[in-house]
Amino acid sequence: MSGRRLVVEADGGARGNPGPAAYGAVVRDAATGEVLAEVAQTLGITTNNVAEYRGLIAGLEAAAGIDPQAVVEARLDSKLVVEQMSGRWKIKNSALQSLALEASRAMPRGHVTYRWVPRARNAHADRLLNAALDAADGESPAAARTTEELTEPSDPPSRLASWAPQLGVPTTLLLLRHGRTTMTAARQFSGSGFDGPALDEEGRLQAVRAAQSLIEAGAVAVVSSPMRRTVETAEIVARELKVPVQVDEGWRELDFGAWEGLTFPQVGDRFPTELAEWLGKPDATPPGGEPIDAMVARVAAARDRALAQFPGETVVVVTHSLPIRAIVRLSLDAPPQAMFRLQPAPASITELRVYADGTISLVGFSQVP
């Protein structure tokens, strides 16, 4: 080894999967951050995973051209490529096996380590690949596709979460219930029929602990229900993570109507028939409130908006008890009544990973920092 240290930042992407694809890669001096090389190229019609591997190979080859004996840290926002090249995930796809072998031969054995970074920290390589795709948009296919059109044979899709590493990079939703309020502590119904209480002192501390536990998650944004308690929680988390907050009305709590401010025993005493119906029918409605199935539909739509806006990223969603229960129930294909058997704690985190083929993995439920 020469003792020189280089950083390779690489990315690849397809507009459609498969679709028109390209890669971008940057080589930097590890000590100064100086850009030593930039490479980008279109790939024809292929997949995200193939494009990501091609970006890595191009970056490593560029680093080898600068100093073939250098020590290199390869930084990618593709967890699949990082885990496979690090040897922690098995590579079953034959096309990716060939690309991984090519990448391993680009530099001497033991000279390269791999590190996953959030997409926001891989912006230079991402910008290069998108510039290559944009430049190719107005050209003929023959002019734009300058390398072989390598497509990735796919295995039959699996719905098993245990096969998740073979399904590509998921979108991760970290569902964070808001911190405690006085109504939470009193176990009162606190829905979206009014703005609701602020976080109490313990609730603010809970939000800080949750934020600190999420620092290493690589979240690119915080999405929040519009309620006061969720917005306060979201702002605390976003400040710690240094990411923006956006509000989505779909994540608000159920409107409990006449039950707002009452405890469960009080509702049972005053509205015994309505409560029994509410617990047993998905379309039941608290007096003057919102039907459960309507809440489930709007929360599912909010989930789908987050998945569409942040594909392959990690997002913190600050919401409420029933929306979290609804999303978990839908993820598990459980019956509607299953929602009432789930109890996410205040400031707890429920982690879901959603893959491109629709496979959903429930990684953790109601984890309290």
Q: Under CATH, which number does the domain 167-367 receive? A: 3.40.50.1240
Does domain 5-144 correspond to CATH entry 3.30.420.10? yes
Catalytic pick from 152, 178, 232, 274? 178
Give the angle subtended at the CA of 259 by the CAs of 256 and 261, to the nearest 5°: 105
The two tokens of residue 95 are 């096309």
Nearest in space to 38 (alpha carbons), one of 3, 70, 65, 73: 65
Residue 178 known to be catalytic: yes
**pLDDT of the residue at 156:** 35
**Same topology for domains 5-144 and 167-367, yes or no?**
no
Nearest in space to 192 (alpha carbons), one of 237, 247, 251: 251
The two tokens of residue 311 are 């594909």
Least confident of 95-109, 155-169, 215-229: 155-169
Q: Which amino acid is at 203?
A: G
pLDDT digits (tens, 9 = 90+) for 28-53: 999 888 999 999 999 998 888 999 99
Give the angle subtended at the CA of 240 by the CAs of 238 and 246, to the nearest 5°: 5
What are the structural domain ranges in the chain?
Answer: 5-144, 167-367
For 155, counting Cβ atoms within 10 Å of its Cβ (0-12 exposed, 13-18 middle, 19+ buried), the class is exposed
Confidence of residue 167 (pLDDT cuts 50, 70, 90): low
E strand or H helix at 366, and its extent? strand 360-367
Least confident of 2-6, 257-261, 300-304: 2-6
Residue 320 known to be catalytic: no
Catalytic pick from 232, 253, 260, 274? 253
pLDDT digits (tens, 9 = 90+) for 180-201: 999 999 999 999 878 889 999 9
